[in-house]
Structure formats: structure tokens, C-alpha cells
Amino acid sequence: MGFEYIKALHIIFVVTWFAGLFYIVRLFIYQTEAMERPEHERKILKPQLDLMTYRLWYIITWPSAILTLIFGTWVITYRLGYLELGFMQAKLVFVVLLYAYHLGCHKLFKELQNGRTRWTSTQLRIWNEASTLLLFAIVFLIVLKNTIDTIWGIAGLVGLGVLLMLGIKLYKKYRTKP
């Protein structure tokens, strides 16, 4: 299989993986909020949300994470020299953090499937933004391929993180207004 096909498949599975990561945490928020509802509502919501998260997690998100790793490793075999470059090393650090985030989501998934929640919906909204920050870092690093631009990019990520947190706070105020 040619390099361009492998790279295309890698990008496709990165996209589907991120789609799964973005939506799974949104479902975690819904599950958490459903557990706060009256019993008659909870009996209806919890089984449906559990089924939706199960299907998303095991049919889309996990397979996409695994296929991303397979095709990403395959892409690197075509460009082994990239491993010596600072931008690629930094990108791979963010990729490792993304897999750690994925495993953190798996732990949350298991807890919520068992009817336990230790995070509030606001904490989960903040957690959800971590994948956004990682996405920005990875894309900017792979596109810019430059250490100086990477430093500016990381500074921009910090700024983006601050804006996301402010947005979450404003949204919380908006939601709690009568």
C-alpha cells in the first residue's frame, strides 16, 4: 500500500477518534446529569445513555484509537528521520498525552456504566476541553513543523485554554439563571 493511502487512513481514523472522544464526554455529562434526576426519569434515561456510550466507545472510539496508532506507526516507518526532529518529538508527547486522556475516559466510562459518578457535569465539561487542546497542539505541530512556531503555538494553546474555561464559566452562569 502506498504512503499516501496509509497517511490518508491515519488522518481518517484520527478524525473518527476525535469525534468519538468529543462525543463520549458529552454523553458522560448527560449520564451524570441523568443520575441527578428523579427516579422515574433516571429509569428511562440511564439505560438509553448507557447503551449509547457503550456503542460509541467500543464500536467507534476504541477501534479508531487503535487504527490511528497502527497507521500512525506505519506512516512514521516511511519517515524515520522525522523522529529526530523537535516538532515530531513534541507531537509524539502530545499523542501520548492523548492516549492517557483516552484511558482516563475509559475509567470514567466504566464508572458511569456501573452507576457511579465522582465528577460533576461542570468538571466533565472542563475535562472535555482537554481533548480540544491536544487536538490543537498536535495539528499545529504537524503542520508548522517548526520549534519557534511551536512555542508560539503552545502559548496560544494556553490562551485558548483560558478562553475555554471562561466560556464554561459563562455557560454555567447562563444555565443556572432562572
C-alpha atoms less than 13 angstroms from C-alpha of 148 in its C-beta half-sphere:
0
* 91 is annotated as contributing to ligand binding: yes
- Residue 161, SS3 per DSSP: helix
Cα dihedral across residues 150, 77, 1, 13: positive or negative: negative
C-alpha atoms less than 13 angstroms from C-alpha of 63 in its C-beta half-sphere:
9
Distance CA 98, CA 65 (A): 10
Cα dihedral across residues 162, 167, 170, 175: positive or negative: negative
- Backbone φ, ψ for residue 12 (5° rounding): -60, -45
* 173 is annotated as contributing to ligand binding: no
Distance CA 53, CA 20 (A): 10
Cα dihedral across residues 73, 98, 25, 143: positive or negative: negative
* Element of type H or E holding 133: helix 121-144
Binding residues for heme: 10, 91
Binding residues: 10, 91
